[in-house]
Amino acid sequence: MKEFAYFPGCSLEKVGLSYHLSTVETTRKLGVDLKELEDWNCCGATTYFHVDELLAYTLCARNLAMAEKDNLDLVAPCSACYKNSYFTNKHLKEDPDLAEHINYALEEDNLNFSGQIEVKHLIEVFVHDVGLEEIRNNVSMPLEGLRVAPYYGCQILRPRKDHEDVEQAEFFEDLLSAIGAEPIPYPLKLKCCGGSLILSSREAALSMVRNLLQNAEDNGAEVIATACPMCQVNLECYQQQVNQEFGTRFSVPVVYFTQLMGLALGIPAKKLGIGKEIVAATPLAPYAR
């Protein structure tokens, strides 16, 4: 049994509830044990670092220290939580003075950062720790014929971590193929969805969302798969506003990759949060139980 400390993050409590539900279901099915951090706090998304770096590192370090207490690697399904946790872990490991300062603050919550664990994105756990072969062996309802746009977004791959390929990633496609779906060529798969600009610089963000939807549609996507709650909300929930703004008529369902995996693994649709969409996920109906 593989075991990880699970950091769901604020979005997964409500806005991205289906991501949480489908994460819990799919990991359980594949023999991965997720132990939720017992009192996690917000990772800060992009904004802590806009205001104060030391505060930003301290808040992220609190989550890392909780995972260390359980001696488990930390897994985050949200790309922003992942990126912030990953780089806080990295910078604190490399900078003992900064770690010491932050440990002084963590004392107030009886926690300590010692740099003993690693941070992973959920999709990495499936692709590397569980493995595609194991996933393939567990598929009972292959998503044959379902054309899916694999949308990576930004912060899974960027900034660069070690030696990963940040320009020609293929692991999302490989995962979709493993569950029998058909990953379509999606040239804009690494382009940004606008993130929090949807609230702060709306015009710009809506046009970024529009480009992504157009590119998915042009390439024949029936559904877009995401691995980040911010990407999901921007692409799905703002579709109507894009249509109003640009006179377009997009109606592309945007689901989490874990929901697709769940269907392929034979998990009932309702348990995966399918049905909570604003743009109905009708192309999934033939595969739903």
Partner 1 sequence: MAKPSFSDEIANLLHAGHGNPLRTCIQCGTCSGTCPVVEYMDHTPRRIIGMIRANLKDEVLASNTYWYCASCYHCTVRCPAQIDIAETMYALKRYSIWKHVHQEGLVGPVFSETFVKTILRSGRSFEPILATSYLFSSGARELIQEAFMGTKMMLKGRMPVLPPRIKRLDNFKRMVSRVIPLEADS
Q: Which residues bind to partner 1, rule: CB under 8 A? A: 10-11, 13-17, 38-42, 44-55, 58-59, 62, 87, 91, 101-102, 104-110, 154-155, 158-160, 166-167, 190-192, 194-197, 199-205, 207-208, 211, 237-238, 240-241, 244, 276-278
Residue 233 CB, nearest distance to partner 1 (Å)?
9
Residue 81 CB, nearest distance to partner 1 (Å)?
11
Instruction: List b or e across 117-148, with b for residues whose CB sees 16 or more CB atoms inside 10 angstroms.
Output: bebbbbbbbbbeebebeebeebbebebeebbb
Beta strands 2-6 and 32-36: pairing type? Answer: parallel
Q: How many whole angstroms separate alpha carbon 279 and alpha carbon 100?
A: 48
Given the complex with partner 1, which of 30 and 43 has the nearer CB atom? 43
Are 191 and 212 in contact, with CB atoms under 8 Å apart?
A: yes
Give residue 48's identity as a one-letter amino acid code: Y
Given the complex with partner 1, which of 266 and 280 has the nearer CB atom? 280
Residue 130 CB, nearest distance to partner 1 (Å)?
27
Residue 209 CB, nearest distance to partner 1 (Å)?
11
E strand or H helix at 174: helix 171-178
Q: How many whole angstroms separate alpha carbon 171 and alpha carbon 123?
A: 9
Given the complex with partner 1, which of 53 and 170 has the nearer CB atom? 53
Residue 2 CB, nearest distance to partner 1 (Å)?
27
* Total Cβ atoms within 10 A of residue 82: 26
Nearest Cα neighbor of 155 from 117, 122, 202, 199 is: 122
Given the complex with partner 1, which of 211 and 219 has the nearer CB atom? 211
Given the complex with partner 1, which of 54 and 285 has the nearer CB atom? 54
Given the complex with partner 1, which of 8 and 150 has the nearer CB atom? 8
Residue 172 CB, nearest distance to partner 1 (Å)?
17
For residue 82, what is the DSSP state? H
Residue 189 CB, nearest distance to partner 1 (Å)?
12
Given the complex with partner 1, which of 154 and 179 has the nearer CB atom? 154
Report the Cα–Cα distance between both ends of the chain, in Å, rounded.
27
Task: Dihedral sign for Cα 69, 73, 79, 85, please.
Answer: positive
Are 160 and 167 in contact, with CB atoms under 8 Å apart?
A: no
> How many CA within 13 A on the CB side of residue 274?
25
